[in-house]
């Protein structure tokens, strides 16, 4: 191990307690989206950088959703690496089923607990810390390192990474994107399924609930439609060979980290009826009902095709109409990219972990870089209870991920790959 | 003055005060009282002002300050029957104002109609009873018995703070016969109503991120399955009392005419309405909770238990789901041969020239609360035009006929006509 790599690791070890406190404080600064007010949480991250004299800017399109942006020039020419994490989190779910306050940030049983701890405050805290450590070493590294800690990821909103790419493209695009969304430290993600969000509105005239013969019921139409919609999960899929191979090679690990069924779902269309709301009062025959469907498309299935397919089903119901809320094309980066090799090598070295390149089920902001032709990779801790009660992060696992990120970023900027 | 002359006098007053009656109804509609939330204070004030204006004392009984109830009563000159008039002040909420062609709270008059949320259910009925009470009070020096007027809040959500509260705490509103003016149609007198079972199906799964559909059962998709299976409630076989069934069969054509084709079938069957569905938080989260609120109507002669046991069986097939009973009322009915039915028929023949059918009602009303305490209760009102729908309205001509019929029937009942 080179001297600079050794020094980087000892900086991380020295900062261990401070790092834990950073994550805990970040969780204690709630940033659920919606509504997406991330000012307090962004302030926690800014505090870490301020304390270490690291320059950054707050770039905010929406004042309640600031993005933290900073760049370091190395001492010599080299590749441009961009780090990306998000500050916002899912809203807390089922408060009554948590064993503690959902925003406690408690450090207990070698874990940090709270809403968004895993997705992805651990990852964003990690990248902010990596940025500060490499800032301390900037006289010795090459290339350029950019930090983006963004708001507005959870709803794929316009104020976060998308805003930065559209308005600060030359600074945040780079040559490679490294993201720390949760997944599992045994996998590096080179691709992700694409979400297609569709709203379906059912409108009938409604009536008094005792007169069900007068008009069709919007809720009962919705129930039938939901059952019909399930057929899209049987769509025939032709995966690109590189992706199919990665899924096949990683199947056992995919099922281990994401529970059995995950590898099969990776190559399939899946349907989630995320929200279903209808009616006003129990004794009124509902005249309105709305369904929001989150369909995940594997590589090779185009959103246009799926929209048409859903449209055919919706058209069977004269009272229903559909609208596309959000549509994306599934993308993938080269699973043999140098960043994949660096992560695999460093994870083995610092944590003794064998890492496989696999695609991801969930969507991340990394897709925005892939869409612009930039190879983008995600490496993070196990996604423990994301969007569920008792979301948490295992501290030892996390420290391994932090070190892997730090070394891989350093190696990439040092042109380690080409050696 | 003979009874015949009294009847003539009442009809004359009604014709003379027609404009005041119509204007008062429009004004009452312009005092919104949607329930929920159920704040009826403005609408109640309109009724109280009117009573004060005609010099009739009234009590306000408000266990919930925002949901006042009114009770007014007078005694005749000699002992006799005690008739109670009952109407409600609250109305359905209006969440579809964009679909109306009129202002839902404007009380607009056009083409011989008055438009507005609640005008049909049942502001027109409450106003009819209020005025009937006023006119009969003018004859109180000649009348036997006792007449009580009650106007209640909190009917639309079950009556806890309205009629139920009055009956529990002020037994003087029980009387010997209850006359309500809930809408239905002037060609029908309602002597009974279907039962109601309100139950929530609650589905709870662990939930997770929406991309991991293999990790947790989806509360919304389980709910869709259960909602589909619950349709079996509609097909439950029904056993009905012979006399009730004959009455309904005789009136079948009329039931279909006033309640839209299909009503005569529905009146004799179980029906399921899934009134409210609430599931999920966000499109890309796999929902861990979903709630279906069901409103099942039970035909006369059947029981809540029949529907409940079928629903329990269906829900029990799904380990993530449970059933919670929110409330129920067994089907209830009074004797279709009661004198009040005859009084309403006679009055209708006299006023409008037709003989109404005695039928049961699809919807529920506070009349059930009197029946449950053993007091015969009857409902007679205008056509239920667009109740809980856009452009709810009342036809003024038809309504005046109802006002006259109710007034004359109450007069006849108090005078003991038709008594053995």
We report the CATH number of the domain holding residue B302 as 3.30.70.360
B272 and B365 together in one domain:
no
- Domain annotation covers residue B338: yes
Task: Identify the CATH number of the domain in which residue B118 sits.
Answer: 3.40.630.10
Classify residue B230: in a domain, yes or no: yes
Among the partner-chain residues A210, A276, A294, the one whose CB lies closest to the CB of B277 is A276
Write down the mean pLDDT value for chain B.
95
SS3 A118: helix
Q: Which chain A positions have a beta carbon within 8 Å of B257's beta carbon?
A: none
Q: Are residues A54 and A166 in the same domain?
A: yes
Count of alpha carbons within 13 Å of B200, Cβ hemisphere only? 15
Domain boundary among B329, B348, B369: B329
Nearest alpha carbon to residue A47 among A65, A29, A72, A73: A29
Provide the pLDDT for residue A258. 87
Task: Please list every residue in chain A whose beta carbon sits closer than 8 Å to the beta carbon of residue B121.
Answer: 208
User: What are the pLDDT digits (tens) for B160-213?
Assistant: 899 999 999 999 999 999 999 999 899 999 999 999 999 999 999 999 889 999
Return the residue in B199, B231, B307, B388 with the most chain A beta carbons within 10 A, the one to mutate for interface testing: B388
A318 and A348 inside one domain: no
* pLDDT at residue A111, as a whole number: 97
Residue B120's pLDDT is what? 96
The per-residue pLDDT for range A264-276, each reduced to its tens digit, is 999 999 999 999 9
Residue-wise pLDDT for B32-51, tens only, equals 999 999 999 999 999 999 99
For residue B259, name the pLDDT band (cuts at 50, 70, 90): confident
- Beta-carbon neighbour count of residue B63 at 10 Å? 16
**Which range marks the domain in which residue B208 is found?**
195-247+263-329
Distance separating alpha carbons of residues A275 and B285, to the nearest angstrom:
8
Angstrom distance (rounded) from CA B213 to CA B286: 7
Give the strands of the sheet with B109-110, arranged side by side.
B109-110, B113-115, B393-395
A163 CA to centre of own chain: 17
Domain of A393, in residue numbers: 3-192+331-418
DSSP characters over A28-77: HS--BTTTT--HHHHHHHHHHHHHTT---EEE-SSTTS-EEEEEEE-SEE
Cα R_g (chain B), whole angstroms: 23
DSSP A337-361: -HHHHHHHHHHHHHH----EEEEES
Among residues A327, A362, A384, which one ends one of the domains? A327
Cβ partners under 8 Å of residue A262, min gap 6:
A254, A255, A361, B212, B214, B215
Give the list of residues 6+ apart from residue B249 with CB closer than 8 angstroms, or none. Answer: none
Count how many residues are written for chain B: 420
A271 and A168 within one domain: no
Contact B412, B138 (CB under 8 A): no
Residue B188, exposed/middle/buried by CB under 10 A (0-12, 13-18, 19+)?
buried
Q: Are residues A365 and A388 in the same domain?
A: yes
Measured between beta carbons, which residues in chain A are less than 8 angstroms from residue B390? 205
Q: Which residue in B337, B349, B378, B367 sits closest to B189, CA to CA?
A: B378
Q: Per the structure block, which two tokens stand in for A252? A: 């056992």
Whether the CB-CB separation of B334 and B372 falls below 8 Å is answered with no
Same domain, B171 and B25: yes
Domain boundary among B296, B329, B362: B329
Are A81 and A139 in a shared domain? yes
Contact B220 A276 (CB under 8 A): yes
CB A146 within 8 A of CB A81: yes
Q: How many CA atoms lie within 13 A of B392 on its CB side?
A: 30
The count of domains in chain A is 2
Are B67 and B162 a contacting pair, CB within 8 Å?
Answer: yes
A46 conformational bin, left if phi > 0, alpha if psi -120 to 50, beta if neither: alpha
Q: Which of B295, B318, B329 is the best mutation test for A, with the most CBs of A within 10 A?
A: B295
Show the tokens assigned to A312: 């055919």
Q: Is residue B244 pLDDT above 90, yes or no? A: no
Of the listed ranges A31-40, B117-126, B151-160, the least confidently predicted one is B151-160
Q: How far is A329 from chain B (nearest CA, A)?
A: 15
Domain co-membership, A233 together with A309: yes
Distance between CA atoms of residues A267 and B401, nearest Å: 70
Asked if residue A187 and residue A214 are part of one domain, the reply reads: no
Last residue of a domain, one of A268, A297, A327: A327
Residues A314, A365 within the same domain:
no
**Tens digit of pLDDT per residue, chain A (419 long)?**
689 999 999 999 999 999 999 999 999 999 999 999 999 999 999 999 999 999 999 999 999 999 999 999 999 999 999 999 999 999 988 888 999 999 999 999 999 999 999 999 999 999 999 999 999 999 999 999 999 999 999 877 799 999 999 999 999 999 999 999 999 999 999 999 999 999 999 999 988 898 999 999 999 999 999 999 999 999 999 999 999 999 999 999 999 988 999 999 999 999 999 999 999 999 999 999 999 999 999 999 999 999 999 999 999 999 999 999 999 999 999 999 999 999 999 999 999 999 999 999 888 999 999 999 999 999 999 988 887 899 999 999 999 999 999 999 999 998 865 44
CATH of the domain at A312: 3.30.70.360
Please name the residue that has the structure tokens 């729908």: B389
Distance from C-alpha of A285 to C-alpha of B96, rounded to nearest angstrom: 13
The minimum CA-CA distance between A10 and chain B, rounded to whole Å, is 36
Quick one: A317 and A342 in the same domain?
no
Specify whether B221 is located in the same domain as B292.
yes
How confident is the model over B99-108, as a mean pLDDT? Answer: 96
Q: Which of B204, B399, B221 is nearest to B320 (CA)?
A: B204
Q: How many domains does chain B have?
A: 2
More confident residue, A281 or B411: B411
Residues A275 and A336 in one domain: no
Per-position b or e across B327-351, b if 16+ CB within 10 A of its CB:
ebbbbbbbebebbbbbbbbbbbeeb
Residues from chain A that touch B282, judged by Cβ atoms under 8 A, are 34, 90-91, 155, 274-275
Partner residue opposite B388 with nearest CB, options A284, A289, A361: A284
pLDDT at B18: 97
Res. B419: pLDDT tops 80: no
- For residue A52, the model assigns a pLDDT of 97
Region B302-329 average pLDDT: 97
Three-state secondary structure of chain B:
CCHHHHHHHHHHHHHHCHHHHHHHHHHHHCCCCECCCCCCHHHHHHHHHHHHHCCCCCEEECCCCCCCEEEEEEECCEEEEEEEEEEECCECCCCCHHHCCCCCCCCCEECCEEECCCHHHHHHHHHHHHHHHHHHHHCCCCCEEEEEEEEECCCCCCCCCCHHHHHHHCHHHCCCEEEECCCECCCEEEEEECEEEEEEEEEECCCEECCCCCCCCCHHHHHHHHHHHHHHHHHCCCCCCHHHHHHHHHCHHHHHHHHCCCHHHHCCCCEEEEEEEEECCCCCEECCEEEEEEEEEECCCCCHHHHHHHHHHHHHCCCCEEEEEEEEECCEECCCCCHHHHHHHHHHHHHHCCCCEEEEECCCCCHHHHHHCCCCEEECCCECCCCCCCCCEEEHHHHHHHHHHHHHHHHHHHCCCCCC
Quick check: A287 and B262 CB within 8 A? no
Domain-embedded: residue B256: no
Close Cβ partners of B210 (under 8 Å, ≥ 6 residues apart): A195, A272, A274, A294, A296, A387, B283, B284, B285, B286
SS3 A5: helix
Nearest to A223 among B206, B224, B288 (CB): B224
Contact list in A for residue B210 (CB cut-off 8 A) is: 195, 272, 274, 294, 296, 387
Collect all residues of chain B within an 8 Å Cβ-Cβ radius of residue A195: 210-211, 284
Residues B161 and B309 in one domain: no
Given pLDDT bands bounded at 50, 70 and 90, which one contains residue B96?
confident
**Looking at the partner chain, which of B96, B292, B363 has a beta carbon nearest the beta carbon of A208?**
B363
How close A90 comes to chain B (CA, Å)? 9
Check residue A1 and give its pLDDT. Answer: 63
Nearest CB partner across the interface for A282, out of B198, B282, B389: B198
Task: Please say if the pLDDT value at position B420 is more than 80.
Answer: no
Rounded to 10 degrees, the C-alpha dihedral A346/A349/A352/A353 comes to: 10
Do B308 and B342 lie in a common domain? no
Query: Which pLDDT does position A418 carry in this prediction?
Result: 47
**Is residue B303 one of the residues assigned to a domain?**
yes
């Amino acid at each position: 191990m080179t001297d600079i790599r050794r020094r980087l690791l000892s900086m991380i070890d020295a900062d261990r307690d401070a790092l834990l406190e950073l994550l805990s404080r970040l969780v204690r600064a709630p940033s659920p989206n919606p509504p997406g007010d991330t000012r307090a949480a962004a302030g926690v991250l800014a505090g870490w950088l301020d304390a270490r004299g690291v320059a950054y800017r707050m770039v905010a399109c929406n004042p309640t959703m600031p993005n933290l942006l900073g760049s370091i020039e190395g001492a010599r020419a080299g590749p441009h690496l961009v780090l990306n994490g998000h500050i916002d989190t899912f809203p807390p779910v089922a408060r009554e089923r948590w064993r503690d306050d959902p925003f406690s940030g408690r450090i207990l049983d070698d874990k940090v607990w709270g809403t968004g701890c895993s997705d992805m405050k651990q990852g964003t805290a990690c990248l902010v810390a990596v940025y500060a450590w490499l800032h301390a070493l900037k006289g010795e590294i090459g290339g350029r390192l950019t930090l983006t800690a963004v708001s507005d990821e959870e709803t794929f909103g316009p104020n976060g990474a998308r805003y930065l790419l559209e308005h600060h493209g030359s600074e945040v695009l780079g040559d490679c994107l490294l993201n720390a969304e949760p997944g599992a430290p045994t996998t590096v993600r080179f691709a992700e399924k694409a979400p297609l969000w569709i709203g379906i509105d059912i409108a009938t005239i409604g009536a008094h609930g005792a007169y069900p013969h007068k008009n069709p019921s919007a809720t009962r139409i919705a129930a039938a439609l939901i059952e019909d919609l399930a057929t899209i999960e049987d769509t025939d899929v032709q995966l690109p060979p590189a992706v199919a191979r990665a899924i096949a090679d990683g199947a056992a690990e995919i099922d281990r980290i994401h529970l059995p069924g995950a590898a099969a779902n990776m190559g399939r269309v899946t349907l989630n009826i995320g929200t279903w709301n209808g009616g006003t009062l129990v004794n009124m025959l509902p005249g309105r009902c709305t369904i929001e469907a989150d369909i995940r498309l594997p590589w090779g299935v185009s959103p246009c095709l799926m929209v048409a397919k859903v449209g055919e089903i919706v058209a069977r119901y004269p009272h229903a109409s559909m609208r596309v809320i959000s549509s994306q094309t599934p993308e993938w980066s080269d699973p043999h990219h140098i960043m994949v090799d660096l992560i695999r090598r460093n994870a083995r070295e610092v944590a003794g972990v064998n890492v496989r390149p696999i695609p991801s089920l969930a969507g991340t902001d990394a897709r925005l870089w892939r869409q612009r032709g930039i190879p983008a990779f995600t490496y993070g801790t196990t996604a423990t209870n994301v969007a569920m009660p008792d979301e948490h992060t295992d501290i030892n696992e996390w420290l391994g991920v932090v070190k892997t990120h730090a070394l891989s970023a350093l190696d990439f900027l040092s042109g380690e790959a080409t050696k | 003055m003979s009874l015949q002359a009294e009847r003539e006098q009442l009809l004359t007053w009604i014709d003379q005060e027609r404009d005041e009656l119509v204007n008062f109804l429009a004004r009452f509609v312009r005092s919104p009282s949607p329930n929920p939330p159920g704040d009826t204070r403005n609408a109640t004030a309109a009724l109280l002002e009117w009573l004060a204006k005609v010099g009739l004392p009234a009590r306000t009984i408000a266990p919930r300050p925002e949901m006042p109830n009114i009770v007014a009563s007078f005694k005749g000159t000699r002992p006799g029957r005690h008739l109670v008039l009952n109407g409600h002040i609250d109305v359905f909420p209006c969440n579809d104002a964009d679909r109306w062609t009129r202002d839902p709270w404007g009380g607009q008059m056009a083409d011989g109609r008055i438009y507005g949320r609640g005008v049909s259910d049942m502001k027109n009925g409450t106003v009819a009873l209020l005025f009937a009470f006023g006119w009969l009070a003018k004859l109180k020096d000649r009348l036997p018995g006792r007449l009580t007027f009650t106007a209640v809040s909190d009917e639309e959500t079950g009556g806890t703070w309205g009629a139920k509260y009055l009956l529990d705490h002020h037994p003087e509103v029980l009387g010997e016969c209850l006359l309500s003016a809930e809408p239905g149609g002037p060609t029908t007198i309602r002597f009974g109503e279907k039962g109601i079972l309100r139950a929530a199906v609650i589905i709870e799964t662990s939930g997770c991120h929406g991309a991991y559909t293999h990790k947790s059962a989806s509360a919304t998709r389980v709910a869709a399955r259960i909602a589909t299976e619950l349709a079996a409630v509609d097909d439950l076989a029904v056993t009905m009392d012979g006399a009730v069934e004959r009455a309904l069969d005789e009136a079948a054509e009329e039931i279909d005419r006033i309640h839209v084709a299909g009503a005569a079938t529905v009146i004799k069957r179980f029906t399921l309405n899934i009134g409210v569905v609430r599931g999920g938080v966000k499109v890309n989260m796999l929902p861990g909770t979903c709630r279906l609120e069901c409103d099942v109507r039970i035909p006369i002669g059947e029981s809540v238990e029949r529907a409940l046991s079928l629903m329990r069986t269906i829900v029990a097939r799904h380990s993530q789901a449970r059933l919670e009973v929110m409330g129920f009322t067994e089907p209830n009915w009074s004797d279709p041969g009661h004198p009040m039915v005859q009084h309403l028929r006679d009055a209708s023949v006299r006023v409008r020239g037709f003989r109404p059918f005695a039928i049961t009602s699809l919807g529920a009303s506070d009349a059930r609360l009197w029946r449950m305490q053993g007091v015969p209760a009857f409902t007679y009102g205008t056509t239920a035009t667009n109740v809980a729908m856009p452009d709810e309205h009342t036809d003024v001509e038809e309504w005046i006929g109802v006002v006259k019929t109710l007034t004359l029937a109450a007069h006849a009942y108090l005078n003991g006509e038709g008594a053995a």
